[in-house]
Chain A
Amino acid sequence: MLRINADGIHYRELNRTIKAAVRDGETEIVLDNVNGQRYIGTGMEEDVLIRVNGVPGNDMASFMSGPTIHVYGNAQDGVANTMNAGTVVIGGNAGDVLGYGMRGGKVFVCGNVGYRVGIHMKQYQNIVPLLVVGGTAGNFFGEYMAGGVLVVMGMNRKSNQPVTGDYLATGMHGGVIYVRGGVDEHRLGAEPRIFDLDAADHELLEPIIAEFCQHFGHSPERVKDRPFVKLLPYSHRPYGRLYAF
């Protein structure tokens, strides 16, 4: 295990150190006093565990394809941008545009996430990205969603606070979104429809909930004390009738 004190270190130097260590065979790296350093884990393909103490900067885990990153704190904007494979676990909140264009791997967030999270996630063959939010999500959650699995739980929220913001899944044309505790119709974009879960859904959710609980110490019973609903697109081509030619 390699421990790095990131205090005052520029991101280029920090990331160079991380990558060099991984190339030398290091499999676990702990970063202390991280504050705003960008691109941690970005573009990395190795099988390594990176533990981040502090607040990592924007674009963490972008294009990442393999590593596991645990953040013991909040994350900023643009995490898991176009991520390919690997796992990101965030113990606090995450900012805007989390998981943009994510095409594989898993992201677990214990707390709340910002605007435009999980937008344009997509799947191909058996590569299915997963993004799980323990708290609440801002507007445009799952916008343009083309594939993959989004889960939002709304745990630990205030009574007047909705699980998701407005324009939920607007433009959705693939994949599935699970929302714990139901969805207000007026928050929904034009393209998705609300369904109850069937047996296959429960089968899919069970291990996801188990992993979420394992990361953050919740009990699965607590998570399941409110029923989930799922959102599916009603069409794979929602704009088929939009154009004239």
Chain B
Amino acid sequence: MRIPSGCAISAIMNVKGVRFNGEAIIKSIACMHERSNGLGGGFAAYGIYPRFRDLYALHLLYESDRGRIDTESYIREHFVVEHSESIPTRPMIAITDPPKFFRYFVSVKPEALDPLRGEDEAELLVRATLTINNYIKDAFMVSSGKNMGVFKGVGFPEDIGRYFRLEEYEGYLWTAHGRFPTNTPGWWGGAHPFGILDWTVVHNGEVSSYGINKRYLEMFGYHLTLQTDTEVVAYLFDLLHRRQKVPLELVARVLAAPFWKDIDRMPEEQRAMYKAIRMVYGPAMLNGPFSIIVAFSGGMLGLNDRIKLRPLTCGKKGDFVLMGSEESAIRGIVGADLDEVWDVRAGEMSLVRLEEGGVTVGQELPAPGVCS
């Protein structure tokens, strides 16, 4: 069953890597309360586990003890567990019937890597995620990157944030998602963000090309279990960027491909490149309305569909870069004074990286700022 949903998304990042607690992101997503309907909310946080920064932080959701026991034996088979604990929560009236959450800080057992496939650590993590999510009953890998984690569930996002006590964590990058699904999945694993390794995706809109995107990914060995666009986006980033090494700015061009009329006007070499991208990656193009924020260790990017059917606004204040479905989500955190605010344009990507501390936007930078 595929679940269409409308949504709110937002993100906040300190480009100098200074860590701050989850209060701001909860406030930001709460500004867009109207865009969610209480059937799902979630957060991704980066830089929150400095003590275990070199270990994979596995966030697991269990709906039964059996699920936990089976998963833990699988984890121990493939990983060395340095530390494990249940994820602290706060009892709340608004949150009903939650599953149990655990986290494991692990390193990979070298012997667990499949030599026949030339498997590296990342491949193993992907394999473990797919195995647990597909084959172990009552268990779901929520996130599996280093020094990051995903917190999500059924409820309004601000309630989910409080439930997971996010104000007690400090990270340099936070993203959030408020969900407006058109039916009731009632399942915590189905909330967003969706992540694989340290990639997390929050997404607004419904991709009309889901059918072929899914079949395309399946050809490369991905098994899609959640039936959501967010999962497709995460796997497409995984396939294109991690496995095929397509540069991030071009991954954006695969997902929101330029129109032929624009490609036809490009200089020869560029034209050939974009023609090849559309020819080869046509089935990976996301067609239909979307705005997405993809976060990863060290940065984030915002992207709109090719004819901008969904909103996404960016803002900058000091060392902070913010993104949100509405400008109010940004102003809700930093107040009235923003250094810059601009809307992400159709098919253009706003990429923010930690090291450079700068913001690079697609080719044509829109004029930022308020009219004088």
Question: B-contacting residues of A (Cβ < 8 Å)?
Answer: 11, 35-36, 38, 54-55, 57-58, 73-74, 76-77, 91-93, 95-96, 110-112, 114-115, 134-136, 138-140, 155-158, 160-161, 166, 186, 216
- CB<8 Å pairs between A and B, sample of 29: A35-B328, A35-B331, A36-B327, A55-B331, A57-B34, A74-B370, A76-B311, A76-B327, A92-B370, A93-B341, A95-B313, A96-B311, A112-B366, A112-B367, A112-B371, A115-B346, A138-B308, A138-B346, A139-B308, A155-B371, A156-B367, A157-B367, A158-B365, A158-B367, A161-B364, A161-B367, A166-B262, A186-B261, A186-B265
Report which residue of B307, B370, B371, B372 has the largest number of chain A beta carbons within 10 angstroms of its beta carbon: B371
Given contacts A74-B370, A77-B311, A161-B366, contact A139 B346 (CB under 8 A): yes
Interface membership of B329, Cβ < 8 A: yes
The residue from B261, B329, B345, B370 contacting A91, defined by CB atoms under 8 A apart: B370
Instruction: Enumerate chain B residues within 8 angstroms of A95, measured Cβ to Cβ.
Output: 311, 313, 327, 343
Bound Cα distance from A93 to B262, whole angstroms: 26
Asked if B32 is at the interface (CB within 8 A of a chain A CB), the reply is yes
Q: Are A134 and B327 in contact (CB under 8 A)?
A: no
Q: Is residue B198 within 8 Å, beta carbon to beta carbon, of the partner chain?
A: no
Given A57-B326, A96-B308, answer yes or no on A35-B343 (Cβ-Cβ < 8 Å): no
Residue of A nearest to B338 (CB): A74
Take A136-B367, A186-B265, A216-B371 as given contacts and tell me if A54 and B34 are in contact as well, using a CB distance cutoff of 8 Å. Answer: no
- Checking A11, A36, A156 against B332 with a beta-carbon cut-off of 8 angstroms, the contacting residue is A36
- A57 nearest CB neighbor, chain B only: B328
How distant is the Cα of A54 from the Cα of B355 in the complex, in angstroms? Answer: 33
Question: Chain B residues near A112 (CB, 8 Å)?
Answer: 366-367, 371
Contact A76 B371 (CB under 8 A): no
| Chain B contacts for A74, CB-based, 8 A | 327, 341, 370
Label chain A's interface by main secondary structure: loop
Interface residues of B (CB under 8 A from A): 31-32, 34, 261-262, 265, 307-308, 311, 313, 326-329, 331-332, 336, 341, 343, 345-346, 364-367, 370-372
A73 and B327 CA atoms in complex are apart in Å by 11
Q: Which residues of A sit under 8 angstroms from B372, Cβ to Cβ?
A: 156
Contact of A36 with B328 in the complex, beta carbons under 8 Å: yes
B371:A93 contact, CB within 8 angstroms: yes
Closest to A216 in B: B371
Is the beta-carbon distance between A114 and B367 smaller than 8 angstroms? no
Docked-complex contact A36 and B32, CB < 8 angstroms: yes
Q: Is the CB of A160 within 8 A of B308?
A: no
Q: In angstroms, how far is the closest chain B Cβ from the Cβ of A206?
A: 22
Task: Given A115-B308, A139-B307, A158-B365, answer yes or no on A91-B327 (Cβ-Cβ < 8 Å).
Answer: no
List of B residues within 8 angstroms of A140 by Cβ: 307
Contacts of B326 in A (CB 8 A): 36, 57-58, 76-77
Closest A residue to B328 by beta carbon equals A36
A38-B34, A95-B327, A186-B261 given; name 8 further pairs at CB < 8 Å: A36-B328, A36-B329, A91-B371, A92-B371, A111-B371, A135-B367, A156-B367, A186-B265
Most-contacted residue by chain B among A35, A57, A111, A157 (CB, 10 A): A35
CB distance from B366 to the nearest CB of A (A): 7
Q: Are A110 and B371 in contact (CB under 8 A)?
A: yes
Complex CA–CA separation, A76 to B330 (angstroms): 12
Residue of B nearest to A167 (CB): B307
Which of B328, B364, B370 lies at the interface centre, i.e. has the most chain A CB atoms within 10 A of its CB?
Answer: B328
CB distance from B8 to the nearest CB of A (A): 11
How far apart sit A38 and B326, CA to CA, in the bound complex (Å)? 11
Residue of A nearest to B33 (CB): A10
Q: Beyond A58-B326, A156-B371, is A36–B31 a contact (Cβ under 8 Å)?
A: yes
Tell which of B262, B311, B345, B364 has the most Cβ of chain A within 10 Å: B311
Tell whether A93 pairs with B370 under 8 Å between CB atoms, given A35-B328, A139-B346.
yes
Question: Are A114 and B343 closer than 8 Å at their CB atoms?
Answer: yes
CB distance from A176 to the nearest CB of B (A): 24
A161 to B31, CA, bound (A): 32
A161 to B368, CA, bound (A): 12
Q: Which of B31, B365, B370 has the most CB of A within 10 A?
A: B370
**Are A160 and B343 in touch, CB under 8 angstroms?**
no
Q: How far is the CA of A57 from the CA of B331 in the complex (A)?
A: 12
Report the minimal beta-carbon distance from B128 to chain A, rounded to whole angstroms: 41
Chain A residues with Cβ below 8 Å from B313 are: 95
